[in-house]
Structure 1
Amino acid sequence: MNEVTILLTLATVHFLALMSPGPDFALVVQNATRYGRQTGSYIALGLSFGILTHSILSLTGVSYLVQQQPMLFALLQLAGGSYLLYLGLSALKGLLRSRPSSETYDGKRETQNPIQSKRHAFSRGFATNILNPKALIFFVSLMSSLVPATMSLTGKGIALLILFGLSLLWFSLLAWVLSAKTMQKRLYAITPYIDGICGVLFVLLGGSIFWQSLLALTQ
């Protein structure tokens, strides 16, 4: 395949992966729905930089070396699983503390935003992606199967831009749509259910990764 075909294939595979439900998708949905566009947008930016970092590490072979070291990879899984568990339990704890309201949506957020700054929102997005061991495996597989070692530096640079640009476009669009006033009115009544679903998803994913890492460390 020539470089143009490789880049188009890379873009297609990555975009399909972005649209599939996972911790990144759930994080944007939960926070943009409840806390608004700015929080969702900075989380989207953090996720995109996490994806860019994974892409660079995979392209340079660093992620492959990490994956080939059982102890190091298990520790990464332990950290990633613990963080996802923290996000899930925090979401469920916040849900239990919230008080049901019979009021209609008036354009104001009734729940205080625990993400106090743009930097905090960015950091949460970045950490969620970079600590996800499944993301490491995905990008190692993606880069090794689609980007040949003989590809030009220009082609590799364009590949990185595509991965980062598509990620930022998708997650920002998701945050923008979910935080639009018309969408907020529709989602207002089911926001607690969204929080609950996202919290359970984080707990299940984090628990699974955490358990796998413990098994690997004890073997």
Structure 2
Amino acid sequence: MNEITLLMTLATVHFVALMSPGPDFALVVQNATKYGRQTGFYIALGLSFGILVHSIFSLTGVSYIIHQHPTLFALVQCAGGLYLLYLGVGALRSVISRWAAKNDPTVINNDDRLLLANRRQAFSRGFTTNILNPKALVFFISLMSSLVPATMSIPGKISALLILWALSLVWFSFLAWALSTKKLQQRLLSVSIYIDSLCGFLFSGIGLIILYQVTVSL
């Protein structure tokens, strides 16, 4: 295949992967619904830069080296699993606090709303969630090795990186924008406690699965 065909195939595969539900998708849904469009955009920006770093690491062989060394890969898995578990437990604690405050006015609601009080925190959460995802590391090793061969020209490789970054930013930004339109956000806010519950279980479940896989592989 010529480089244009390879890049088109790369874009298609990556876009399909982006639309698949996972930690990145859940993070945008949860926070764009709760905090609004600007926070959702900066989370999307953080996620897209995490994907860019994964792509660069895969293209330069760094990710392959990590994946081929069990100890290094186990450390990445542990870090990713623990971070997702941290996000999950935090979301579930917030849900419990909100339910308690809803049923008993004397209970103080310890919602985590202030945890994403600025752009830097939103960007950091998006970036960290993606860069510590060991499944993303493996995915991009496979994607880049099969669709961005070593013989591809430098402009072609740069185009591949830009395509992966731009598609990620556009998709997650669109998702954040769509979820934070006034009417939809009002509806979603009314069920935000259920969204937080679902995201909390999703983050916790994926985090525990990753940690379990580490213990089995040791």
Work out whether 1:36 is the aligned partner of 2:36. Answer: yes
For the Cα contact (< 8 Å) 1:31–1:39, is it kept in 2?
yes
Contact 1:37 1:176 in 2 (8 A): yes
Question: How many angstroms apart in 1 are the aligned matches of 2:4 and 2:62?
Answer: 25
Preserved CA contact (<8 Å) 2:78 2:210: yes
Contact 1:85 1:203 in 2 (8 A): yes
Q: Deviations over 1:179-206 (max 9, x none)?
A: 1101112212211111110110000000
- Distance in 2, Cα, partners of 1:31 & 1:112: 10
TM-score normalised to the size of structure 2? Answer: 0.93
User: Does the CA-based 8 Å contact 2:19-2:25 persist in structure 1?
Assistant: yes
User: Does the 8 Å contact 1:35/1:113 carry over to 2?
Assistant: no
Could you report, residue by residue, the CA deviation over 1:49-107 in whole angstroms, capped at 9, with x for unpaired residues? 000000000001110010000011001100000000000000000111115769xxxxx
> Which of 21-30 and 92-101 deviates more?
92-101
TM-score normalised by L of structure 1: 0.92
Which residue number corresponds to residue 108 of structure 2? Answer: none
Q: Which residue of 1 aligns with 2:73?
A: 73
CA RMSD of aligned residues (A): 1.5
**Between structures 1 and 2, the one with greater helix share:** 2
On the 8 A contact 2:115/2:121 being kept in 1, the answer is: no
Deviations along 1:18-72, whole A, 9 cap, x unmatched?
A: 0000000000000000111111110000000000000000001110010000011
Unaligned runs of 5+ in 1: 103-109
**Mapping 1:27-66, distance limit 5 Å:** 27-66=27-66
Q: CA separation in 2, counterparts of 1:33 and 1:120?
A: 16
C-alpha displacement of 1:111: 7.7
Matched, 1:212 2:213: yes
| CA distances 1:120-170 after superposition (whole Å, capped 9, x unpaired) | 110100000000000000000000111111000000000000000000000
Closer, same or farther: CA 183–64 of 1 in aligned 2, 3 Å: same
1:8 aligns with 2:13: no
1:83 aligns with 2:89: no
Amino acid at match of 2:45: L
Matched ranges for 1:135-154 at <5 A: 135-154=136-155
Partner of residue 107, structure 1: none
Contact 1:88–1:202 (CA<8 Å) still a contact in 2?
A: yes
Q: Distance in 2 between matches of 1:2 and 1:87?
A: 43
Q: In 1, are the aligned partners of 2:94 and 2:112 still within 8 Å (CA)?
A: no
1:177 aligns with: 178
